[in-house]
Amino acid sequence: MTSKPMYRQIADALREQVQRGELKAGDALPTESALQETYAVSRVTVRQALKLLTEQNIIESIQGSGSYVKEERVNYDIYQLTSFYEKLADRNVETHSDVQIFEVVKADESLAQTLLLTAGEKVWHVKRVRFIKQKPVTLEETWMPLALFPDLTWEVMENSKYHYIEQIKKMVIDRSEQEIVPVMPDEETIAALGIDPTRPILEKISRGFLKDGRVFEYSRNRFKSDDYRFTLIARRHR
């Protein structure tokens, strides 16, 4: 009887670490070099083991970052208007946002119409990558009226925008109009989320309204499709 191939032995050992809880959802696996040294094998053998675990949906690879134990998908209830942090509140996981752009721009005709402003009015333009642990899962681009939020800061956008609006500004958020479509990722999204350029992603375009009817944000979010699960309840008309 032939012994099990070395790459399968490595995959088994890593899988057992996950099952025992030594490696938890979202944790980074040892680097390829570390695995080579630990098991005294070639890089090709290590990559075969990681490929097998990826195919079994136990781990996932992030370009330029490494391999991670696969997280349970984030449940995105379309009928509940919640922030990124609120969606993950019951998961007890570390989250953070990497703000890449934080600037004031003048709204062109199209953006002004979307935000119910006059062309030329100033708006915040913010772009940030949202992380679960150290894994990027969402690329978000947002425009918010400067007149509504003159004291908006970089630090606010590193955390919860909704907390700032509701708890600091004491504004009442009423609703969000959303459109979700599958799109092919552009180069920026591929680089930000470390995704396969041949696989489609989900893009959510939304416009948020305050209780008094003012539009407080226009956002474009791009999600890794295997990190999110979108749910809704459809009731039959009587």
Q: Is 236 exposed, middle or buried (0-12, 13-18, 19+ CB in 10 A)?
A: exposed
- Dihedrals phi, psi of 105, to nearest 5 degrees: -130, 165
pLDDT for the residue 130? 87
pLDDT for position 122: 98
| DSSP state at residue 219 | E
Q: Could you tell me the CA-to-CA distances from 71 to 11, 13, 42, 52, 170 in Å, in that order?
A: 18, 19, 28, 17, 34
pLDDT (0 to 100) of residue 187:
92
Q: What is the pTM of this model?
A: 0.66
User: What pLDDT is recorded for position 28?
Assistant: 83
Instruction: Give residue 167's pLDDT.
Output: 92
Q: What is the pLDDT of residue 198?
A: 87
The count of residues in the chain is 238
pLDDT at position 120? 96
Place of tokens 């890794």: 224
- Under 8 Å between Cβ of 148 and 214: yes
pLDDT at res. 85: 47
pLDDT at 92: 56
User: How many whole angstroms from its chain centre is CA 35?
Assistant: 28
Amino acid 93: pLDDT:
59
| Phi-psi domain of 199 (left: phi exceeds 0; alpha: psi -120 through 50; beta: other) | beta
Phi and psi angles of residue 38, each rounded to the nearest 5 degrees, phi first: -65, -45
The answer to whether 69 and 58 have CB atoms below 8 angstroms apart is: yes
pLDDT one-digit tens code per residue, 51-98: 888 877 788 777 667 888 776 655 555 555 555 544 444 555 567 889
The per-residue pLDDT for 1 is 39
Ranges of residues in the chain with a pLDDT under 70 are 1-2, 63-64, 71-94, 225-238
